[in-house]
Structure 1
Amino acid sequence: MTAAVAPPIVFVHGTRFSAGQWSAQLASLRTDFPVAAVDLPGHGARSGQPWSLTSATEIIASAVDSLDSGPALVVGHSLGGYASLEFARRCPGRLRGLVLAGASASTRGAWATPYRWAAGLVPRVPADRLTRMNDRLLRRLYPADVVEATIRSGYAFHTLPAAWGEVLGRFDANAMRHVAAPVLILNGEKDTVFRSGEAAFARAHPQARVELIPRARHLSNFDDPEAFTDAVRRFARELTAAG
């Protein structure tokens, strides 16, 4: 596939992480596709920028435009998936396809209660302690070449309350009705919480389908980078074939 016909792909990271989350995907896909990964407001290189969904959508839009290849396939994980849904609503002309990874659970109602509690708890724990805990966890669970870019970029614990404070109560399957492009709902098989609404999300969109990564959890692109990347690659090629 040549760059002239390949859809550009923009990756949007999850809670507390950064563009570094996608290092394995960028390395594998950049020979076939124009690719970019963003730092959401309050994360990574934008650590000092206040969080808002409006800013998040503007950052995604700017990344799409920077690739200068027309509408993009946007891949969003967790918090980045919900931000990508908002981007799809606000910028339909810039979207060629959407991958929702770990972002097909309603953020409304009782489901949101433990996440509101966690968002309120995080600021009470020293950031350096949270950093050490996250570093140890990632290095224990995943190969260095998968997680070192994430570790180097640090964690946006300070942004978590504002980010999830805005996302919680805002999204459910009805958000899919605002997506004017094909959708791949790509979840880890064992991510029982964030795939809890995947059937409803898929039913709400005429061009949506669900694909599971076997044995993977919420961080499915870390658990099985090759399977995650392959799913994105196949979906991008389907978009190209569909014209």
Structure 2
Amino acid sequence: MTAADAPPIIFVHGTRLSAGQWSPQLAALQEDFRVAAVDLPGHGARSAEPWSLNAATEIIASAVESLDRGPALVVGHSLGGYASLEFARRCPEQLRGLVLAGASASTRGPWAIPYRWAAGLVPRIPAARLTRWNDRLLRRLYSPEVVDATIRAGYAFHTLPDAWGEVLGRFDADAMRHVAAPVLILNGEKDTVFRSGERDFLRAHPRARIELIPRARHLANFDDPEAFADAVRRFALEVA
């Protein structure tokens, strides 16, 4: 099987980030695949748009249609992973395969309590201060070619309460039963929180498998951009 036979690939970013999160993967894959990264409502170029899962799924669906190559492989990270699960439920005919990255933890029950607390705290901190903290952290951990596009696009702190307010309490491994396509659960080895339910997610789907990025954390596509892109490449060829 060759890349020419593979589906297009849509990337969906994580909490507070933007399509810029995927600049390393787009650069690595764009010569062989039709690829696109979306901004979810309230993020990036869509910063002024109100958040909703309905709008998020419509944005993903429009991106699939824009590549004009039939069902797509959708890669969702964290918040984008849960939005991609919702897209898989609502638009099964548009999905060839699903990569869940840092999104295989239940958002129900006690696990959600600290995230509800954080979502309530964020609006109380000035956005300029949060931006400085995030910029410093990313620049300390990663090279400019990995994070410059993310930093330039800014952060969606104002959207975080609404986004997580809708996601928390909504998803667990049962969401996998609504996914008709094959699933790759792609986690950073050290992302202990968001891979906490990966075995439950695996058991809930007959065509799912787990792959770990060694030594990577929650932002696995930043920690090891090449390994992440390679995992997506191999899965795209598998589902071709």
- Structure 2 gaps of 5+ residues are none
Equivalent residue letter for 1:86: E
The equivalences for 1:123-138 within 5 A come to 123-138=123-138
The equivalences for 1:1-243 within 5 A come to 1-3=2-4, 5-240=5-240
- Structure 1 gaps of 5+ residues are none
How many residues of Structure 1 are paired with residues of Structure 2 in the alignment? 239
What CA distance in whole angstroms lies between the structure 2 residues aligned with 1:184 and 1:151? 28
What CA distance in whole angstroms lies between the structure 2 residues aligned with 1:122 and 1:197? 26
Using the TM superposition, give the Cα deviation of residue 2 of structure 1 relative to its aligned residue in structure 2, in angstroms.
4.9
Q: Any idea what SS the aligned residue of 2:11 has?
A: strand
What CA distance in whole angstroms lies between the structure 2 residues aligned with 1:107 and 1:201? 12
What CA distance in whole angstroms lies between the structure 1 residues aligned with 2:146 and 2:70? 29
**Would you say the 8 A contact 1:6–1:32 is kept in 2?**
no
What CA distance in whole angstroms lies between the structure 2 residues aligned with 1:6 and 1:236? 6
> 1:47-98 deviations in whole A, cap 9, x for unaligned?
0000000000000000000000000000000000000000000000000000
Q: Any idea what SS the aligned residue of 2:147 has?
A: helix
What CA distance in whole angstroms lies between the structure 1 residues aligned with 2:15 and 2:9? 20
**Would you say the 8 A contact 2:8–2:71 is kept in 1?**
yes
> 1:13-40 deviations in whole A, cap 9, x for unaligned?
0000000000000001011110000000
> 1:124-172 deviations in whole A, cap 9, x for unaligned?
0000000000000000000100000000000000000000000000000
> 1:186-207 deviations in whole A, cap 9, x for unaligned?
0000000000000000000000
Equivalent residue letter for 2:71: P
**Would you say the 8 A contact 2:3–2:237 is kept in 1?**
no
Using the TM superposition, give the Cα deviation of residue 229 of structure 1 relative to its aligned residue in structure 2, in angstroms.
0.4
Equivalent residue letter for 2:219: L
Using the TM superposition, give the Cα deviation of residue 6 of structure 1 relative to its aligned residue in structure 2, in angstroms.
2.1
Q: Which runs of 4+ in 1 moved over 3 A?
A: none
What CA distance in whole angstroms lies between the structure 2 residues aligned with 1:83 and 1:187? 17
What CA distance in whole angstroms lies between the structure 1 residues aligned with 2:149 and 2:3? 28
Q: Any idea what SS the aligned residue of 1:117 has?
A: helix
Q: Any idea what SS the aligned residue of 2:10 has?
A: strand
The RMSD of aligned alpha carbons is 0.5
TM-score, normalization by structure 2:
0.99
What CA distance in whole angstroms lies between the structure 1 residues aligned with 2:235 and 2:95? 14
Equivalent residue letter for 1:88: A
